[in-house]
Amino acid sequence: MKQLAIIVPEGENNLSSIVGPYKIFSRANAHWGERGKIKLFDIHLVGTSKEVDFYDGLFCVRPRVDMAKMERADLIIVPSLNHNYEAAIENNRKLIHWLRERYNKGSEIASICTGAFLLAEAGLLHGKTCSTHWAASPDLRQRFPTVDIRTEKLITDQDGIYTNGGAYSFLNLMLYLVEKYYDRETAIFCSKVFQIEMDRQSQSSFIIFKGQKMHGDELVREAQAYIEGNTHEKISISDLSSKFPVTRRQFDRRFIRATGNTPLDYVQRVKMEVAKKELETTRKTISEVMYGVGYADEKAFRDVFRKVTGLTPLDYKNRYNNEMASLN
């Protein structure tokens, strides 16, 4: 029988991403048995303490298995962390060492949301693709520059390492793992029981782009301020770079190093964030929104919007604008 370890890290981290995997895999096991099959997983809550409190002691979790005594785990699930990533890493050094050791001995590991910080600290994401919550991605990128962060992706799967995006999107990762370890029928069953949409692949439409400002390059800060203050204009990157005492190549390199985006990508993301707000809160037509963010070519606007959000402008408006949805 396979062994599933759901980790209970030290610290007040995310309770739902411990309970959720436990419930879904327990139900998958039960359904597997109802179909006349032998239970696939033994499910264990694993930690280094006998009890971990959550939400100022309102809840607590009691791991049944001491991590030091669990020598075999076929699949390990790491829940999401609170936003004090530095403290979470320091408080879980034993866990980080254990994850590295287990992976090297053949365990597969799935991280939920910001649980990716623990995998990255263990060195397990070096050179690999990784997703996490879009709001945490600048911190993760700054601390672990060798990780290929793909915040547009809901799930990544590479070399026995699984990661996923933010918040309750972990439910989709659980369905993905259920299908991988059990079968499609069991995943569909769990989808229906827990009412989780199957086969979601992107979290792009949920991303709020705030601009990467966690750097010390004043020239790039000035360029960012210009872009964000002139979203209604068509911005030429050549003209923008000429405002500063550097060559175009130097400007591009400094911008990418500071923000993780090319100047063009940054302009597009800033403009699309403005367009999203307009589509969410006004009755403007797609064309009016397009002209308002400096685009004259409707196809170009739609292509960039879809690249950034994963949706067409009309689909986005229908999904997020309550007033428009009520008219449909």
Which residues have a Cβ under 8 Å from the Cβ of 180 and sit 6 or more positions away?
Answer: none
Q: What is the DSSP letter of 69?
A: G
Instruction: State the CB neighbour count (10 A cutoff) for residue 30.
Output: 12
Q: How far apart are CA 204 and CA 118, in angstroms?
A: 24
- The angle subtended at Cα 196 by Cα 195 and Cα 201, nearest 5°, is 160
Tokens for 63? 């791991």
Q: How far apart are CA 280 and CA 311, in angstroms?
A: 13
Instruction: State the CB neighbour count (10 A cutoff) for residue 316.
Output: 21
pLDDT along the chain (328 residues), means of 10: 96 94 97 94 96 93 94 96 92 97 97 97 97 92 94 92 92 95 94 89 77 86 94 95 95 92 94 94 95 96 94 92 60
pLDDT at 240: 96
Q: What is the DSSP letter of 274?
A: H
pLDDT at 328: 47
pLDDT at 323: 66
In residues, how long is the chain?
328
Alpha helices (H) along the chain: 16-34, 85-91, 93-104, 116-121, 137-143, 170-181, 184-194, 218-229, 237-241, 248-259, 263-281, 286-292, 298-309, 313-320, 322-327
Bridge partners of 6? 45, 77
